[in-house]
Structure 1
Amino acid sequence: MAKVTRGMDHVGVTVPDVEEATTFFKKAFHANISYDNKKLGDEPQQGDTVEKTLGLKKGAKVIHIRILSFDNGSGIELFQYKNTEQREPVIASDLGVQHIAFYVDDIQEAAKQFVEAGGELLTEPRELLGDVEKGTGKFVYGRAPWGMLIELISYDPNQLHYPEDSEAKRFTP
């Protein structure tokens, strides 16, 4: 079988307000706007085809879509909907995507910027826990202003303790 996947392109994130989320990601992680796929004020994406294509509830309308880019790694595609009921943000034990992580060079400074941007840390940064990562760096989880779980992580990729049967090393920006 041919290898056709190069890597992760982006993560889609539904937010209550694309502009506010953009401001948060710019302040916390130095995000840059690549482009808007759907501008606020344009005719919403809606109807049977959109509902089927995106797996939406009947009547949901996509009113704003924006691609954010970062200096290294995958991008984020922000979605803003109207005319649909929204659930609370997931917690780590829920099925599906439960958090995104940003690799940072200085965990204390990154945590400070995260909070200054409007995020809330769940704890102070602490030592990594996993067998492969233990002793190589620190991490902390926090919530974005709309409740999404985000991890800040920093480690020395040359110090990770991979098992002998590991198929690959993890990507580090």
Structure 2
Amino acid sequence: MENQKTTAISGIDHIGINVPDIDTATVFLQHAFEAEVIYESYSKEQPPLEVEGIEATTLNLASHAKLHSCRMIKIGNGINIELFEIHVNGQRESVKSSDLGLQHFAVYTDNILVSLEKFATAGGKVLSEPKPLLFPLETGETNLFCYGITPWGSCVEFITYPDGMPYEAQTKVRRWKGGK
């Protein structure tokens, strides 16, 4: 019993993103982030799976939603992305960062300019030049961020903080840093 954890949660395992075309999205993630496919849990080679009844409720899906494909993706050393291709009549576009709910995912980069260039070349839209981190507990001379939009409308933050962060002087708890 001495090795028993005091909490049931170890960390974030993955985020789920629904995309209009899973193959196009996968190629984009591979070109923009050097993503790797871990496995495909449901293939387009299978007939679309219509999720109804309790399954639709359990998964928070609209009635008559059809799952066309599902794939687990890995980007560097971090949480996984579970890509879905789900279609349903009345499907809405991606939300803005000011709307409620999951608004973006962030990738840590050691070279933000190269990362943004790869993202744009792959088909993403970079929203600005890299800017200094906004919050006082995150600032540093070379600590930068920049947002971009994927071809399907999801928001991605690129972040780098090689100077460390001022919050580190106030607590022993540390943010997880990609690749480290």
Bin the TM-score by the shorter chain.
over 0.9
Per the alignment, residue 86 of structure 2 pairs with 81
Residues 61 and 84, structure 1, Cα contact 8 Å, conserved in 2: no
* Identity between Structure 1 and Structure 2 (%): 37
Is the contact between residue 95 and residue 103 of structure 2 (CA under 8 Å) also seen in structure 1?
Answer: yes
Instruction: Provide the aligned C-alpha RMSD in A.
Output: 1.7
Q: Summarize deviations over 1:59-114 as a string: whole Å, max 9, x none.
A: 11111100001220001000111233221211111111000000011000000000
What stretches of structure 1 of length at least 5 have no aligned partner?
Answer: none
* TM-score, normalisation: structure 2: 0.89
> Is 1:42 paired with 2:72?
no
Moved more, 68-77 or 1-10: 1-10
Q: Secondary structure at the match of 1:22?
A: helix
| Aligned length in residues | 172
Given candidates 16, 19, 22, the residue that maps to 1:12 is: 16
Q: Where does residue 26 of structure 1 map in the other structure?
A: 30
Deviation, structure 1 residue 41: 2.6
- Could you tell me how far apart the structure 2 residues matched to 1:165 and 1:105 are? 25
Deviation of the 1:167 alpha carbon: 6.6
Q: Structure 1 length as normaliser, TM-score?
A: 0.92
Q: Given the alignment of the two structures, is residue 155 of structure 1 paired with residue 161 of structure 2, yes or no?
A: yes
Q: How does 1:72-151 map onto structure 2 within 5 Å? A: 72-135=77-140, 136-151=142-157
Runs of 4+ in 1 over 3 A off after TM superposition: 163-167
Moved more, 158-167 or 2-11: 158-167
2:60 aligns with one of 55, 61, 67: 55
CA contact (8 A) 1:47 1:59 kept: yes
